[in-house]
């Protein structure tokens, strides 16, 4: 782009005398990728080479601790904590304005004030525009990113590291003379005015107008950066943003012509972030309260005792009460103790026609459908876990019955059987899950695992995740079941691990470290989940599974993904890997993201696997992008892929 660059230089030379004194307000031009305006590229240097400066950043569900924010902005978490009077570990509520101390320097040949950071692209479909506008909230500009990175605009891919020039400035001689020591880059929120911002920092509104070359009647806009001259360090108390009443409109990037083909991905990402934020906030408020107090560590009570003390009590309290402060007690109350003959009647004497699979029977209890599972021996662990768990994507245990040495567990009923039935049954050609249903189920399972690992009290490892244990309800939502092998995570903070000599599980889903060393960590669920995603994508069997090409063998599905995603033509290979029952009706970009996260989940080394919270995040983005995907635009998206 020699022409714009030349033009820039020209404008730059002309405008230097003017901009030397103060910085020009960029208004809404930061995310504009196409048109070059001088102030967009950065604040032009004056005689000061380097100075202490501040940025503001609004916390969100991705960046919600001083550590993650300081990593994003290349500051230090201790400095960020200090500047905001928060602890390093504290989760910052969304939309809190955080001040971030940085060193601002005069950089490179361009002589722009900037603070460098590095960002590694990690989502398929990210563009210079999305990085500038969404990830960095306009602290950097699309033009400056294009200017200071060598990657072609249309050729960004996951894993590339971008140089991020963050907009900052040092005080001019004039400002120093007036006693200003720092310039803070402030992100304007909806509804703010120069004078309301001046109040926050206790400065004269006129000094802000001067610093940004604004006159008193110039408009300012939300989502644009404003320089605030400060005589002292910015206030330490967290500044609450005048939070927008509703989520910002998801207008497609008007200036992002370079990314137009991927617009829907960006929009999807934003919708995803917003949805995710809401979900997380809800979960957060429900669960964080409980987590703050160490969970009352009950000695796993002998189930028999519980039964005795509650034998007479037939309660119909719902499980939701288990989230109340006296969770444990209520949880026990919430389980119904059934009479054996009621179950007999409800299942037509455990007759063949009511048999779902194995020892699981369909029951009709007072008109409600339920599933009854017959188990021998000690099932206290499954009861103890499920009675305390309340999550829409984990199958609910409503009660139990003990009769002649067997335990009968009564669960909520999932109308559509298991994922395994849908993906691998004989007639899976006639009954096929759509792309959307698959993504939704993957998202649901990730949600459940995230809850289990991070929010359940105490946290658990499922240990036996597989498509057979993922049930599908009437609305095609996924529900994780079968907690017979689940274990309490001993030490949730240090990811403490446990060893077992009793390795049980299903071939193809078991993580290598578990098979080899009996190591039990949350990462074994992540591995199994990766395999489930691969099943969702390919419809293949977990072992030896290319039913469609007739290639049978001992190859594990978890190892095929590497061949698919490596080397040349990975997208073509992915197309070949996908379940032919989908008949090509899926967005390849999103399928690629799914395959990529699955690949990371099934990494041999457990430390290379992502945490389930990260996996959940990625799936929630894919899920919301899928909402935007219109199957009828399939041909369009396929053209743009090739």
Ligand X SMILES: *[C@@H]1O[C@H](CO)[C@@H](O)[C@H](O)[C@H]1NC(C)=O
Secondary structure of 361-399 in HEC code, one letter for each residue: EEEEECCEEEEEEEEECCCHHHHHHHCCCCCCCECCEEE
Region binding ligand X by CB under 6 A among candidate stretches 253-261, 402-410, 547-555, 582-590: 253-261
* Residue located via tokens 């669920």: 525
Which residue's CB atom is positioned nearest to ligand X?
A: 108
In the complex with ligand X, which residue's Cβ is closer, 237 or 632?
237
Region from 40-48, 103-111, 347-355, 520-528 binding ligand X, contact rule CB under 6 A: 103-111
3-state SS record for 622-637: HHHHHHHCCHHHHHHH
Contact range with ligand X by CB under 6 A, out of 113-121, 211-219, 225-233, 374-382: 113-121
Rg (CA), the chain: 28
Q: Which is nearer to ligand X, 223 or 403 (CB)?
A: 223
Element containing residue 290 per DSSP (H, E): helix 263-292
Q: Which of 215, 237, 569, 632 binds ligand X (CB under 6 A)?
A: 237
Shortest Cβ distance from residue 512 to ligand X (Å)? 23
Judged by beta carbon, residue 62 or residue 565, the one nearer ligand X is 62
- The crossing angle, in degrees rounded to 10, of helices 557-565 and 570-577 is 150
Binding of residue 613 to ligand X (CB under 6 A):
yes
What residues are paired with 106 via a beta bridge?
Answer: 113
Q: How far is the CB of 266 from ligand X (least distance, A)?
A: 8
DSSP-assigned states of every residue in 237-274: SPEEP---SSPPP----SS-GGGGGGHHHHHHHHHHHH
- From the list 42, 171, 234, 255, which residue makes contact with ligand X (rule: CB under 6 A)? 255
Q: Quick check: 394 and 479 in contact, CB under 8 A?
A: yes
Largest CA distance in the chain: 93
| Cβ nearer to ligand X, comparing 430 with 642 | 642
d(CA 203, CA 168): 18
Q: Which is nearer to ligand X, 117 or 538 (CB)?
A: 117
Q: Which string of x and - marks every residue 284-303 that binds ligand X (by CB under 6 A)?
A: x-------------------
Among 116, 359, 434, 498, which residue sits at the site for ligand X (rule: CB under 6 A)?
116
x-marked contacts with ligand X along 459-488 as a string, rule CB under 6 A: ------------------------------
The residue range among 5-13, 102-110, 458-466, 511-519 that interacts with ligand X, by the rule CB under 6 A, is 102-110
CA atoms within 13 A on the CB side of 102: 31
CA–CA gap between residue 205 and residue 216 (Å, rounded): 9
Cα separation, 604 vs 372, whole angstroms: 37
Question: Would you list the DSSP string of 55-109?
Answer: EEEE--SSS-SHHHHHHHHT--HHHHHHHHT--TTPPPPTTEEEEEEEEEEEETT
Q: Does 196 bind ligand X (CB under 6 A)?
A: no
Residue 490, classified by CB atoms within 10 Å of its CB into exposed (0-12), middle (13-18) or buried (19+), is middle
Per-residue interface string for the shown chain with ligand X, residues 61-100, x marking contact by CB under 6 A: xx-x---x-----x----------x-----x---------
Please state the closest distance from residue 614 (CB atom) to ligand X, in A: 7
The 356-385 site mask, x for binding ligand X (CB under 6 A), equals: ------------------------------
DSSP strand pairing (182-187 vs 50-58): parallel
Which of 467, 612, 619 has its CA nearest to residue 540? 467
Find the binding residues for ligand X in span 19-58 (CB under 6 A).
21, 31
- For position 581 contacting ligand X by CB under 6 A, the verdict is no
Residues 199-223 as b/e (b if ≥16 CB within 10 A, e otherwise) read eebebebebbbbbbbbeeeeebeeb
Task: Give 404's Cβ-side CA count (13 Å radius).
Answer: 3
CB of 198 to ligand X, least distance (A): 16
- Mask for 145-184, x = binds ligand X (CB under 6 A): ---x---x--x-x-xxx-x----------x---x------
Q: Which residue has the tokens 């000695």?
A: 299
Q: Is 245 in the site for ligand X (CB under 6 A)?
A: no
Structure-block tokens of residue 160 = 């590339």
| Residue 477 CA from chain centroid, whole number | 19
Q: Which of 376, 43, 438, 79 is nearest to 234 (CA)?
A: 79
Q: Tell me the site size for ligand X, rule CB under 6 A.
A: 40
How many CA atoms does the CB half-sphere of 516 hold within 13 Å? 6
Q: Which of 18, 35, 236, 305 binds ligand X (CB under 6 A)?
A: 236
Q: At residue 396, what are phi and psi to the nearest 5 degrees? A: -90, 135
Residue 43 or 61 having the CB closest to ligand X: 61
Question: Closer CB to ligand X, residue 174 or residue 491?
Answer: 174
Does 248 bind ligand X (CB under 6 A)? Our answer is yes
Minimum Å gap between C-beta 255 and ligand X is 6
Judged by beta carbon, residue 242 or residue 543, the one nearer ligand X is 242
Measured from the CB of residue 225, what is the shortest distance to ligand X in angstroms? 12
- Tell me whether the omega of the peptide bond preceding residue 464 falls within 30 degrees of 0, making it cis: no
- Decide if residue 103 touches ligand X (CB under 6 A): yes
Least separation in angstroms between CB 143 and ligand X: 13
Options 110-118, 313-321, 344-352, 492-500: segment touching ligand X (CB under 6 A): 110-118
Least distance CB 480 / ligand X (angstroms):
19
Give yes or no for residue 118 binding ligand X (CB under 6 A).
Answer: yes
> Is there a contact between 100 and 56 (Cβ–Cβ < 8 Å)?
yes
Q: How far is the CB of 611 from ligand X (least distance, A)?
A: 8
The span of 104-112, 329-337, 432-440, 583-591 binding ligand X (CB under 6 A) equals: 104-112
Measured from the CB atom, the residue of 223 and 350 that comes closer to ligand X is: 223
In sequence order, which residues have a C-beta less than 8 Å from that of residue 514 and are 6 or more positions away?
503, 505, 520, 524
Minimum CB distance to ligand X smaller for 53 or for 469: 53
Residue 62 beta carbon to ligand X: minimum distance, rounded to whole angstroms = 5
CB of 238 to ligand X, least distance (A): 9
Q: CB of 287: closest distance to ligand X in angstroms? A: 9
Question: By the 8 A CB rule, do 600 and 158 touch?
Answer: no
Counting beta carbons within 10 angstroms of the beta carbon of residue 526, is it exposed (0 to 12), middle (13 to 18) or buried (19 or more)? buried
Backbone torsions φ then ψ of 11, nearest 5 degrees? -60, -40
User: Residue 468 Cβ, how far from ligand X at the closest point, in Å?
Assistant: 28
Which spans of this chain sit near ligand X (rule: CB under 6 A)? 21, 31, 61-62, 64, 68, 74, 85, 91, 103, 105, 107-108, 116-118, 120, 133-134, 148, 152, 155, 157, 159-161, 163, 174, 178, 223, 236-237, 248, 251, 253-255, 280, 284, 613
């Amino acid at each position: 782009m020699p022409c714009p660059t030349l033009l820039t230089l020209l404008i730059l030379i002309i405008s230097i005398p003017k901009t030397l004194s103060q910085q020009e307000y960029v208004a809404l031009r930061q995310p504009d990728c196409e048109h070059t305006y001088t102030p967009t590229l950065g604040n032009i240097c004056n005689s000061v080479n380097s100075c202490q400066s501040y940025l503001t950043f609004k916390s969100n569900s991705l960046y919600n601790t001083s550590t993650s924010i300081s990593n994003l902005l290349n500051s230090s978490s201790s400095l960020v904590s200090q500047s905001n009077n928060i602890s390093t570990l504290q989760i910052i509520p969304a939309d809190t304005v955080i001040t971030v101390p940085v060193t601002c320097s005069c950089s490179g040949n361009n002589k722009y004030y900037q603070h460098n950071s590095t960002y590694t692209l990690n989502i398929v479909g990210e563009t210079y525009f999305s990085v500038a506008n969404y990830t960095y909230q306009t602290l950097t500009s699309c033009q400056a990113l294009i200017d200071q990175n060598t990657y072609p605009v249309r050729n960004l891919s996951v894993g590339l590291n971008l140089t991020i020039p963050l907009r900052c400035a040092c005080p001019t001689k004039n400002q120093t003379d007036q006693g200003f020591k720092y310039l803070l880059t402030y992100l304007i929120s909806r509804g703010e005015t120069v004078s309301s911002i001046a109040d926050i920092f206790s400065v004269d509104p006129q000094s802000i107008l001067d610093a940004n070359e604004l006159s008193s009647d110039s408009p300012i806009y939300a989502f644009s950066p404003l320089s605030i001259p400060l005589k002292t360090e910015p206030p330490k108390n967290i500044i609450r943003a005048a939070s927008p009443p509703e989520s910002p409109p998801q207008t497609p990037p008007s200036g992002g012509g370079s990314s137009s083909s991927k617009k829907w991905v960006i929009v999807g990402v934003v919708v995803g972030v917003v949805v995710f934020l809401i979900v997380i906030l809800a979960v957060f408020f429900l669960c964080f309260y409980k987590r703050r107090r160490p969970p009352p560590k009950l000695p796993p009570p002998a189930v028999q005792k519980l039964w005795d003390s509650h034998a007479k009590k037939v309660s119909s309290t719902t499980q939701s009460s288990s989230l109340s402060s006296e969770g444990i007690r209520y949880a026990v109350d919430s389980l119904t103790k059934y009479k054996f003959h009621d179950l007999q009647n409800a299942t037509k004497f455990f007759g063949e026609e009511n048999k779902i699979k194995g020892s699981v029977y369909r029951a009709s209890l007072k008109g409600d459908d339920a599933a009854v599972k017959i188990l021998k021996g000690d099932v206290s662990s499954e009861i103890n876990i499920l009675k305390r768990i309340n999550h829409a994507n984990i199958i609910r245990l409503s009660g139990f019955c003990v009769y002649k040495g067997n335990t009968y567990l009564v669960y909520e009923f999932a109308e559509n059987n298991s994922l395994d039935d849908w993906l691998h049954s004989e007639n899976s050609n006639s009954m096929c899950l759509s792309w959307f249903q698959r993504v939704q189920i993957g998202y649901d399972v990730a949600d459940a695992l995230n809850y289990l690992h991070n929010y359940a009290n105490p946290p658990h490892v499922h240990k036996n995740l597989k498509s057979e244990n993922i049930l599908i309800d009437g609305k095609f939502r996924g529900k994780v079941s079968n907690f017979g092998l689940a274990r309490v995570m001993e030490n949730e903070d240090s990811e403490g691990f446990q060893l077992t000599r009793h390795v049980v599980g299903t071939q193809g889903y078991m993580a290598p470290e578990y098979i080899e060393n009996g190591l039990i960590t949350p990462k074994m669920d992540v591995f199994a989940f990766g395999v489930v995603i691969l099943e969702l994508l390919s419809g293949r069997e977990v072992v030896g599974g290319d039913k469609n090409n007739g290639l049978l063998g001992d190859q594990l599905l978890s190892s095929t993904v590497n061949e698919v995603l490596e080397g040349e033509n990975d997208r073509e290979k992915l197309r070949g890997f996908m379940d032919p029952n989908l008949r090509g009706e899926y967005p390849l970009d999103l399928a690629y993201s799914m395959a990529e996260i699955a690949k990371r989940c099934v990494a041999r080394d457990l430390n290379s696997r992502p945490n389930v919270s990260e996996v959940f995040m990625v799936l929630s983005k894919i899920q919301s992008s899928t909402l935007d995907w219109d199957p009828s635009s399939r041909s369009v998206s396929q053209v743009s892929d090739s």
